[in-house]
Homo-oligomer: A and B are copies of this chain.
Amino acid sequence: MHNFTFHNPVKIVFGKDTIPQLNQLIDKKAKVLLTYGGGSIKKNGIYKQVKSALKKRKIVEFGGIEPNPAYETCIKAIELGRKEKVDFVLAVGGGSVLDGSKFIAAGIPFRGKDTWQIVCTGGASVKSALPLGTVLTLPATGSEMNTFAVISKLSTKEKLAFGTPLCYPQFSILDPQTTYSLDKKQLRNGIVDTFVHVSEQYATKDLNTPLQDRFAEGIYKTLINIAPAVMNGKKDYDSRASFMWCATLALNGLINRGVQEDWSTHCIGHEMTEFFGLAHAETLAIVMPAVWKYELKNKADKLAMLAENVWGVKKGTKQQKAVAAIDRTIKFFNSIGMPTSLKDYNLTPADCDMVVNRAAQRGWKIGENSDINAKALEKIFKLCF
């Protein structure tokens, strides 16, 4: 086990009808920048609940943060926040709204000339950030309880992550009832995103970390078990609650303490979103099985463990179990309506050249063994069809 530090001060307020607690969680005198996405919160009643909870506080609204939040959008919110001298950011939405709002919270007091530096430096250039609170409406990214945000720059087709403890939300409200209005694609994407987050911290070199492994397997098993009840679209509170808590704990810095990580699927997936326009989770569902096939030898120990402990595969060699883990994972994704081949999006191997070329330009050597360069990426893309 590696040495580690664990320090996650986010206050989670979880459960039915918890949005009114905003009134206790935000200073009465705060001037709040209220950020949200495409406006679905106005249709499903969440906007109304939030406004009601905020009582007589001064509110400046900024809607329209898109999926894969754009630097170009967020910079407008930063300008608005500076002009209006807001002193609190309240993000209401899914991972994209939360990620964009972290960038906004860090961007408003940022004194550098180019605000994109926040992202370029991975967050190291952030010296302060406005306090941030969130009301989560889409379980998927874990952004509600971590320091990370992924921001896309449209002008250069870049999608990059940054993270700083200054961007931890002060609090996040998780009311599972807010997920009732999500459509099947959003639910499916959230389940896959969570599943892959766990995998990037589990399907790696075994460093003898049994507790972390059992916790990761606990998230996998819960997700697999609740998926049918989540996907059937009914208002099944308990399955939505477990789904929401799974997504949060999959990426709050707990299951990766002391373990080897490998975020290559995410790195490749981000490029595919930029070049092909696929949703984040759609890219992950295709790339992860391909990366696992490509890295079968290196990941055999943990993939066999996944097969045994999660999928219940007890027979076969380690290699056979590892292959079974990949097959079962693909079948699970398909079972909730998630495609796992680039063919399903009418893409061809030639389309992938753009991504491979940029990996070559950037001299990529990603993955837990730094062995995924442009050449390896080409091979991985062949496994995506």
Q: Is the CB of B5 within 8 A of A12?
A: yes
In the bound complex, CA of A304 to CA of B238 (Å): 21
In the bound complex, CA of A215 to CA of B215 (Å): 5
Tell me which of B15, B208, B246, B258 contacts A14 (CB under 8 A): B258
Q: Is the CB of B14 within 8 A of A257?
A: yes
In the bound complex, CA of A8 to CA of B254 (Å): 12
A369 at the interface (CB under 8 A from B): no
The residues of B that contact A257 with a CB separation of less than 8 Å are 14, 245
Q: Is the CB of B18 within 8 A of A13?
A: no
A373 at the interface (CB under 8 A from B): no
Q: Is the CB of B238 within 8 A of A1?
A: yes
Q: Is the CB of A246 within 8 A of B2?
A: no
User: Which residues of A (282-339) have their CB < 8 Å from a CB of B?
Assistant: none
Q: Is the CB of B245 within 8 A of A211?
A: yes
In the bound complex, CA of A281 to CA of B257 (Å): 28
A210 at the interface (CB under 8 A from B): yes
A241 (CB) vs chain B CBs: closest residue: B1
User: Which residues of A (192-206) have their CB < 8 Å from a CB of B?
Assistant: none
The residues of B that contact A9 with a CB separation of less than 8 Å are 7-9
A226 at the interface (CB under 8 A from B): yes
User: Which residues of A (1-28) have their CB < 8 Å from a CB of B?
Assistant: 1-16, 18
Of A210, A225, A237, A254, most B-chain CB atoms within 10 Å: A210
A208 (CB) vs chain B CBs: closest residue: B238
Q: Is the CB of A6 within 8 A of B12?
A: yes
A242 at the interface (CB under 8 A from B): yes
A219 at the interface (CB under 8 A from B): yes
A257 (CB) vs chain B CBs: closest residue: B14
A249 at the interface (CB under 8 A from B): yes
In the bound complex, CA of A6 to CA of B8 (Å): 11
The residues of B that contact A5 with a CB separation of less than 8 Å are 11-14
* Cβ of A209 to closest chain B Cβ, rounded Å: 7
Q: Is the CB of A249 within 8 A of B211?
A: yes
A218 at the interface (CB under 8 A from B): yes
Closest 4 A/B residue pairs (Cβ): A3-B15, A214-B218, A9-B9, A7-B11
21 A-B contact pairs sorted by A residue (CB < 8 Å) = A1-B237, A4-B12, A4-B15, A5-B12, A6-B11, A6-B12, A8-B9, A14-B257, A209-B242, A210-B221, A210-B225, A210-B242, A211-B219, A211-B242, A211-B245, A211-B246, A211-B249, A214-B215, A214-B221, A241-B258, A245-B258
